A and B are shown apart, each in its own frame.
Chain A
């Protein structure tokens, strides 16, 4: 198993955001994480990527316990993510956003990073060139090459989402978390996004995605986990989930509230 959580629990004050969740993501697959609003999906993401520390439970990545590790360490181990509300470095150019993701991938690992970084000060050209070129490859992969020198904030919405994916890919993850990648996209953009997600999977990167667009989820996910009120209520293939009574109930219950 690539990623596994064991009875993962996060309590904020008196609110149990996720409760004893055993989640897992298999290598090479696209795993969907769905559930009504407030089910704890993003909390689960935050607790697996080190942005939040679980109250109880453990997270394992490739068999290693990563519970409580800092987000930058987890990133360097090979987990990347995007955010529900786009969080680009808006003041930087498109290419710079991706270059930041490349920074800690340069050179050989046994030299101190600080020394490498200092070196980049005096020998800007060669290493910067390498970072630039490799960043450009990720932009091309997302078909954003022609926007390289624009400000990130000037990109149309759909492209901003894609840029966030390019930036996440630039850290060379083994596992990519996507938090509502299709939110706010029109049907054509969503179609294109599905294609992109498949292409990422085909590069050997495993994916976990939170999404409300059921068409997208049922179409591209190999496995689906359903959360409701902080608890895992179901998991299985898209067909299994579509026919699961508990899941249907959880979703209908939400519509009643609206």
Chain B
């Protein structure tokens, strides 16, 4: 049973981690929480579903449906990357030198525009996102695991490794880290900070789109899909140490595991599952206000 819960928790956590990365990367660079991030995930799920249905046509389950699904993920990730950059340009960039609360309010506004826009465009009825494969659970060593879960594990693992390598190894990644540490100095090193910020929003939003698609199989697509998931990914990002990429991954996976084990072992009723996320956040913040891997901000003299 332990391994069963572990697998379930890990898959849930993988999704939280993907979404948490967007919060943490944007915070790392702009020191602000992009509250519209959850709604980008919702848009990603819709775009993914529509393009999947479009590519798939009437084809029965098979290699083509899976290929259509991969295409749909790419289309949705690309769409959301542009959406994220657009939002930054229109709603956050003009406020960059305003008080710290201004972009936060702007983000909440964007969040409402996106979810209401989705309701207006696509209706409030949930729309089913068909599995692109036969989702009958497989038994591996006594653990029932669905192809959907395998997909989540594989996709989130690949994306996290790629992202980590990108940030640590490439010149753009270093430019990103430099920008997050000190924007003015990064500029003086010849780094185009505006470009780095756009890139950050693009990457974060693309990851959110993939995360959105992966949860939409279970939850279907509806305009407020991003609310609770977005909020929990935010909890994961804060718990892991906001601004820290590895922290967001760790926080996401930990949250997924704790939620699953909370329900399974502590016997917390399913309906209170979400309480666990927020209880954990409060506990972590009480004990370690900077998050698991976060650095304590020193007062500048």
Contacts and interface: CB of A to CB of B under 8 A. Distances in A.
Interface of A: 49-51, 70-72, 75-76, 80-81, 83, 85, 87-92, 96, 99-101, 103-104, 106, 114, 116-118, 120-121, 124, 128, 131, 167-168, 171
A222 B233 CA distance: 59
A89 B181 contact: yes
Interface of B: 165-166, 169-172, 174-175, 177-178, 181-182, 184-194, 295, 301
A89 B169 contact: no
B184 A103 contact: no
Nearest to B170: A121
Contacts of A168: 188
B293 to A, nearest CB: 12
Contacts of A70: 187, 192, 194
Contacts of A121: 165-166, 169-170
A103 B171 contact: yes
Nearest to B301: A85
A103 B189 contact: yes
Nearest to A80: B188
B240 to A, nearest CB: 17
14 contacts: A49-B188, A50-B187, A51-B184, A51-B188, A72-B186, A75-B189, A80-B188, A92-B177, A92-B178, A103-B190, A117-B172, A120-B170, A124-B170, A171-B188
Q: By CB atoms of chain A within 10 A, which of B171, B177, B185 has the most?
A: B171
Contacts of A90: 181
Given A51-B187, A89-B182, 17 more contacts: A50-B187, A51-B188, A70-B187, A70-B194, A76-B190, A89-B178, A89-B181, A91-B181, A92-B181, A103-B171, A104-B190, A106-B171, A118-B170, A120-B169, A120-B170, A124-B170, A131-B171
B185 A87 contact: yes
A167 B170 contact: no
Contacts of A116: 171
A51 B184 CA distance: 7
A171 B187 contact: no
Contacts of B169: 120-121, 124, 128
A103 B191 contact: yes
Nearest to A79: B188
Q: By CB atoms of chain B within 10 A, which of A49, A89, A124, A128 has the most?
A: A89
A138 to B, nearest CB: 13
A121 B170 CA distance: 5
A167 B174 contact: no
Contacts of A80: 188
A75 B188 CA distance: 5
Contacts of A83: 185
Nearest to B187: A71
Given A90-B181, A92-B177, A100-B175, A81 B188 contact: yes
Contacts of B171: 103, 106, 116-117, 120, 131
A117 B181 CA distance: 20
Contact of A96 (B174, B187, B192): B174
B182 A171 contact: no
A165 to B, nearest CB: 13
Contacts of B181: 89-92
A37 to B, nearest CB: 16
A101 B175 CA distance: 10
A196 to B, nearest CB: 19
A118 B177 CA distance: 16
B188 A103 contact: no
Contacts of A81: 188
Contacts of B170: 117-118, 120-121, 124
Contacts of B193: 72
Contacts of B186: 72, 100
Nearest to A99: B174
Contacts of A75: 187-190
A99 B171 CA distance: 9
